[in-house]
Structure 1
């Protein structure tokens, strides 16, 4: 992704550099460790193993990092239990456009009786710490296990058994339903590495699971949807810090062209996720350049609807005034043909999978179905 393509998408030419970096964060090259030069004024907080934070949490080891936070395994000195502590960069701690703590509080309080409550990450504690690089917000959450993206790599060709795909999909839909209907939150970043396994009762640290087979795949498994760092309130989408939500490979058509977006954008990402889990590959490569996305959509799903090309404030980047592509393509490779040609092993209802995906992967957001309709779909309900 190039800044010269991103900058015009922001409403002000004086947008702070921080916001541009935030918009780019999910598309930047990934490294095994966070860049050391980001331990600077306004950057990461330097943690020390064994130190006690906020007079309560002992730092055990690093669990991971993101573009504007590091995550640590901590042990509560009062309860002798383990948790995950997300330490924000100082420069994003007080940014008014980010509401992650508010979202996590809403998740806790909205409706604990809802079936999707247990499939969302739960906040345990919140506080600030002062360090050499500034003031840092810390969010302590329950400790979870391995990410779905890494777990899938344990299986041949990255294809999860289809029964397991259905189990996970049901739980992710319930998690999304809780966010959409009870919390008034659009996640905007539904993807496999934001879905983690809950640890079994009594487990202390994430374990490396063995690969079960057939009907024995991960019985009674629970997954949770995490990372509300770039989410938004569903009734205040216009306040989100960028129009360019979602990673390019998961980006909904209405987002690509700058048309009005909302909850259906999450449904599109869910469709991409289900395809990835069932087929063992991304629908669109994660290395794709953002400028190629609408053309790949056309290859798989046909031309963009006229209402999107007409109303999208960035349509001129990709389309002519009549709605036709600036760079027309003659080739088509419909999604249904791809699935039939490379059908998932063990799936006795390939046509059901195609129909299920079609309900989500529709170019017009108004034609995507509700989460409740997806939960009731025969393909998802079958073994």
Structure 2
């Protein structure tokens, strides 16, 4: 569908600045390309070879890399148990705004009896290694399997079977409940790439294979998380990948735990329809208009109460660039789901609880966990 407003939107300078600042932290881990060799420099990546001993671990294979780290499968010299080791760039090892090791320690100790505890990634070890490019923080965690994003790629139209979705989602919700309620952590990056399946018993390497509906998943990557009582101290105003970004974040109206609920809704939409709610790589300045396309006008609190509301809305709350077209999200979902699917209407109702423009109207995690749709087979 052609959208008239697409022609008139340009990047605001604040988004350009913030994009440069946050791009480093919101890059997905790549498993299919080599990291840029010019980043092996003072302050950059630590050079590692297969078979090398790093700390108390032997390096077995490379699992992937991101803009601020490389990740390796390793084997403990003490137990030979497989694990994953993230090796940070030297220049980011002691950045005071990043608290990943502190978050992982809190997750490990807050309340191991909580039902969400086993669905979060667990820290096994942490240490520093000195190299030609500086001092690097190494975080050793459990070795996990394929991501939910990879899993979805196995199915026609990337639509995960509803039975599998209903098995996976309660685990993700419980993981989020543990972070929010026991750890005082807002994840800020809930997405399919950050949800991984546990390995089958006895497996020593991640495998890509069909997963049964009784599989266990874990929520990973708190590298860009935030203490819930320290949002104002977070290193960036623009949390979340653009296609998953909550309305209150886009307009700079302040954010909190409900931002994670919005991302969860985007995740459910992706798994059940095979499409992102909003296409990835979207220009940030278009996001509120896409929200309005699916959900209607922004609430007054967002059109006037945000630091950047004036970039999108007039003083009376109307859009700077009116769009005559509407495509209610419910209609879009009905078109994307298989014809005659008996779950579609209940799915739409479930999504509506999370995808509310007003963060105060989004459902609690407990309400979502108890929703009848998740219990239906």
Please give the TM-score of this superposition, normalised by the length of structure 1: 0.92
Whole-Å separation in 1 of the counterparts to 2:107 and 2:344: 36
Secondary structure of the equivalent of 1:97?
coil
Aligned counterparts of 1:113 and 1:64: Cα–Cα separation in 2 = 32
Inter-partner Cα distance in structure 2 for 1:317 and 1:25: 25
1:118-129 correspondence runs (5 A): 118-129=118-129
Aligned to 2:131: 131
Aligned residues between the structures: 367
SS in 2 for 1:207: coil
Match of 2:77?
77
Tell me what 1:14 maps to. none
The CA distance in 2 between the partners of 1:292 and 1:29, in whole Å, is 25
Q: How does 1:288-367 map to 2 (within 5 A)?
A: 288-344=282-338, 347-367=341-361
- Written as runs of structure 1 = structure 2, the 5 A alignment for 1:188-337 is 188-210=188-210, 218-337=212-331
| Correspondence list, 1:142-153, <5 A | 142-153=142-153
CA deviation after TM superposition for structure 1 residue 344, in Å: 4.2
Cα deviation for residue 320 of structure 1 reads: 1.3
Q: CA deviation at 1:343?
A: 2.1
Residue 20 (structure 1) shift: 4.2
Q: Distance in 2 between matches of 1:254 and 1:144?
A: 33
Is the contact between residue 162 and residue 344 of structure 1 (CA under 8 Å) also seen in structure 2? Answer: no
Q: 2:103 maps to which residue?
A: 103
1:39 pairs with 2:40: yes
Query: 1:111 & 1:93 partners in 2: Cα distance?
Result: 27
Return 201-210 or 356-365, whichever deviates more.
201-210
Structure 2: 5+ residue stretches without partners: 1-9
Q: Distance in 1 between matches of 2:11 and 2:131?
A: 33
Give the Cα–Cα distance (whole angstroms) in 2 for the partners of residues 231 and 3 of structure 1: 26
Report the equivalent of 2:63. Answer: 63
Classify 1:76/1:115 alpha carbon distance in 2 versus 1 (closer, same or farther; 3 Å): same
Alignment partners' CA distance in 2, 1:90 and 1:329: 47
How far has the Cα of 1:29 moved from its partner?
Answer: 11
For 1:105 and 1:25, the matched residues in 2 are separated by 20
Once the two structures are overlaid, the 10-residue window that deviates more, 364-373 or 200-209, is 200-209
The CA deviation at 1:123 is: 0.2
Query: Is 1:4 paired with 2:5?
Result: no
Cα distance in 2 for residues equivalent to 1:93 and 1:126:
12
1:206 Cα deviation from its structure 2 partner? 1.2
Give the CA RMSD over aligned residues: 1.9
Q: Say if 1:86 and 1:140, in contact at 8 Å, map to a contact too.
A: yes
Distance 1:228 1:110 in 2: 15
Q: Which runs of 5+ in 1 are unaligned?
A: 10-18, 211-216
* Change in 2 beyond 3 A, CA 1:129/1:22: farther
Cα 1:70–1:44 shift into 2, 3 Å: same
TM-score calculated relative to the size of structure 2: 0.93
* CA distance in structure 1 between the partners assigned to 2:376 and 2:208 by the alignment: 29
Separation in structure 2 between the aligned mates of residue 372 and residue 306 of structure 1, nearest angstrom: 28
